[in-house]
Amino acid sequence: MSTLSELHLLTVLAQEMNMRKAAEKLFVTQPALSQRLQHIEKEWGTKIFLRSQKGLSLTPAGELIVRFAAETIEKEEQVREAIQSLDTKVHGTLKIAVASIVGQNWLPKVLKRFVNRYPQAKISLITGWSSEILKAIYEGQVHVGIIRGTPDWKGVKIHLFDDSLYLVDTEITSIDQVLGTDRPFVQFKSDSNYYQEIQEWWHRQFQTMPKRTIIVDQIETCKQMTFNGIGYAILPAITLNGNESNIFKIPLLDEQNREIKRETWLLGYESSFRLNQVTAFVDIVKEFVAEIEHN
């Protein structure tokens, strides 16, 4: 049976599919890597990789062996985490997945406090749309996730904060002026939940489509285009620090004339919340949220 270091070697080779790149990543020479691979293949009694001018490719047997290697390494990490959780110190890797907008505008201050307080802990961070974050939690890729919107989640869920949605522009000072402008509505791609919320508000407010639209792939691009006077946009308060000059912010209101807000939640399975590094992170998050609410 291959050792854990040999299984790690196989997973790196499968990721890179290139002997030179894999050797660099493993800090060994190509001849040494080739020799170790030959030993592993001899141990398994089959070819795992085929070489060509284009690089490496997995054999059918190799696909099974590499999958086994990845699963074994993941299981080993889980056992190590369980052992570390018996200790009072906070170390190990904190695996978190966060909605991109939270990762860009809110999380850095929380993580700074976490790494300063627990220098022995490591962080693995994934960002993406909230739907992608939920998938990462379901599949066990991360310990906890932070998403936007109201979650359909049966495990542990902790409400973090709400932030209002604003129509933001350099010229428009009231909602009544929107249909009169020829400047475009700048929209950013997002998961269906957020997009649907905006669409419902727009239809309720105007009963017609925007005259012109510009679609961008990132909220930060949308924000910068708006701040530079290219068009108007609908942005959540989390992206606005309150010190923007020459920018008008008009809150979106629902049918009861209340501000429309976007919820942010921290989610995870019960088992993850028993890990020391997760408990420590959650405590810092709650501490940070309480400070913001107090101020």
CATH code of residue 236: 3.40.190.290
Specify whether 115 is located in the same domain as 231: no
Average pLDDT over residues 131-159: 91
Specify whether 155 is located in the same domain as 282: yes
Count CB neighbours of 289 within 10 A.
18
Specify whether 174 is located in the same domain as 100: no
Question: What is the pLDDT, as a whole number, of residue 67?
Answer: 93
Whether 30 and 68 have beta carbons less than 8 Å apart is answered as no
Q: In which band, very low, low, confident or very high, does the pLDDT at 127 lie, cut at 50, 70 and 90? A: very high
DSSP strand pairing (93-99 vs 122-128): parallel
Residue 49 belongs to what H/E stretch? Answer: strand 49-52
Q: Which of 66, 84, 102 is where one domain is finished?
A: 84
Q: Which of 84, 115, 150 is where one domain is finished?
A: 84
Chain centroid to CA 193: 17
Count CB neighbours of 209 within 10 A.
10
Average pLDDT over residues 280-290: 94
What confidence tens digit (pLDDT) does each residue in 99-117 have? 998 998 899 999 999 999 9
Specify whether 109 is located in the same domain as 241: no
Chain centroid to CA 144: 10
Question: What is the pLDDT, as a whole number, of residue 192?
Answer: 63
Could you tell me which residues come within 8 angstroms of residue 74 by beta carbon, excluding any fewer than 6 positions away?
Answer: none
What confidence tens digit (pLDDT) does each residue in 185-224 have? 999 888 767 888 888 899 999 988 888 999 998 888 999 9
Average pLDDT over residues 237-247: 83
CA distance 212 to 225: 15
Average pLDDT over residues 83-91: 69
Specify whether 80 is located in the same domain as 194: no
Domain range for residue 141?
93-162+263-294
Specify whether 100 is located in the same domain as 60: no
Specify whether 126 is located in the same domain as 272: yes
Question: What is the pLDDT, as a whole number, of residue 88?
Answer: 61
Specify whether 178 is located in the same domain as 113: no
Could you tell me which residues come within 8 angstroms of residue 270 by beta carbon, excluding any fewer than 6 positions away?
Answer: 155, 156
What confidence tens digit (pLDDT) does each residue in 41-83 have? 999 999 999 998 888 999 999 999 999 999 999 888 888 877 7
In the chain, the number of structural domains is 3
Residue 15 belongs to what H/E stretch? Answer: helix 4-16
Specify whether 69 is located in the same domain as 215: no
Percentage, residues of the chain above pLDDT 90: 66
Specify whether 140 is located in the same domain as 280: yes
Full-model pTM: 0.70
Q: Which of 50, 84, 118 is where one domain is finished?
A: 84
Give me the CATH number covering residue 55: 1.10.10.10
Question: What is the pLDDT, as a whole number, of residue 85?
Answer: 64
Give me the CATH number covering residue 147: 3.40.190.10
> For the chain, what is the mean pLDDT?
90
Specify whether 254 is located in the same domain as 267: no
Specify whether 194 is located in the same domain as 253: yes
Question: What is the pLDDT, as a whole number, of residue 1?
Answer: 54
